[in-house]
């Protein structure tokens, strides 16, 4: 039965973030041609034969050197991609630094309340007729936003990824707040994001039950300062100021798969 106090979510791509440190000592003795061969083998392993896409990111700082972001149709396809990369010779020079599993998620706070109210006027909540009508409406909403659930990998130069939670502490607990309060706070939160439309592409993914945090956030932009301004401004809205907890941030430069040999040879890889 659909709980009117739990916001519905619509799901899209399955996402896998793989973060590696490059063992440069294992590549240093190889020729440039040999590194190009390793890169080509890895690029083939990460290629998407059907639906989905892959991004390669040179990570800044000590946390990792390389981030691989995979958008796929299912966890099975993520598993195949991870195994295919693990079988490559290049993988011998990659040391896992972190990873993250999630699914593109679109929260439906306001729509959930609206649909419950509309259907309750026609059907008794909890009945088979109500549940069927509710599922049909959610599927209609899913079809309407399919391009947001299965978006193309943004090809912006700069990428920022971080996981986050909604606080569940003794004095402040997001999940015990009234539905209407949570909806109002998320509305305020979303208005800030809309202001940055066109400057940054946000990919929000749900990871409750999949990984150590509740959501993953990917930001793509042509100017990295947008990340700072957006996240700083959001810190002042109530949903973030009172209830948000943030994990580690990974920031870097996206580059084209064809530039992987350049990266392995110590050059700065380009996006195009």
Q: Cite the active site residues.
A: 162
Q: Are 42 and 260 in contact (CB under 8 A)?
A: yes
Q: Which residues contact 233 (CB under 8 A, 6 or more apart)?
A: 192
Helices (H), the chain: 32-46, 75-86, 109-120, 128-144, 146-149, 179-195, 225-234, 238-243, 260-264
Helices (H), 47-150: 75-86, 109-120, 128-144, 146-149
Cβ atoms within 10 Å, residue 160: 22
| CB neighbour class for 115 (10 Å; exposed up to 12, middle 13-18, buried from 19) | buried
Dist CA 249 CA 193 (whole Å):
18
Sort residue 209 into left (φ over 0), alpha (ψ -120 to 50) or beta: left
Dist CA 30 CA 265 (whole Å):
10
Q: Are 100 and 216 in contact (CB under 8 A)?
A: yes
Dist CA 2 CA 132 (whole Å):
10
Radius of gyration, alpha carbons of the chain: 21
Q: Are 210 and 103 in contact (CB under 8 A)?
A: yes
């Amino acid at each position: 039965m659909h709980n009117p106090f739990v916001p519905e979510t619509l799901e899209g791509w399955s996402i896998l973030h793989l973060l590696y440190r490059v063992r440069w000592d294992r590549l240093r003795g190889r020729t440039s041609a040999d590194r190009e061969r390793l890169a080509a083998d890895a690029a083939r392993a990460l290629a998407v034969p059907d639906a989905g896409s892959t991004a390669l990111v040179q990570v800044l700082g000590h946390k990792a050197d390389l981030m691989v972001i995979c958008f796929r149709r299912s966890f099975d396809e993520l598993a195949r991609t991870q195994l295919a990369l693990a079988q490559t010779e290049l993988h011998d020079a990659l040391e896992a630094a972190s990873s993250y599993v999630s699914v593109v998620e679109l929260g439906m706070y306001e729509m959930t309340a609206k649909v419950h109210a509309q259907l309750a006027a026609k059907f008794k909540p909890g009945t088979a007729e109500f549940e069927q009508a509710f599922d049909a409406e959610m599927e209609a909403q899913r079809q309407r936003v399919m391009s947001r659930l299965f978006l193309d990998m943004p090809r912006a130069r700069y990428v920022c990824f971080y996981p986050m939670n909604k606080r569940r502490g003794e004095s402040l607990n997001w999940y015990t707040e009234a539905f209407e309060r949570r909806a109002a706070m998320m509305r305020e939160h979303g208005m800030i994001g809309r202001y940055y439309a066109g400057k940054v592409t946000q990919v929000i993914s749900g990871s409750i039950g999949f990984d150590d945090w509740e959501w993953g956030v990917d930001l793509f932009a042509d100017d990295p300062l947008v990340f700072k301004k957006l996240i700083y401004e959001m810190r002042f809205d109530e949903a973030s100021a009172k209830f948000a907890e943030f994990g580690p941030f990974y920031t870097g430069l996206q580059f084209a798969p064809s530039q992987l040999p350049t990266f392995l040879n110590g050059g700065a890889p380009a996006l195009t």
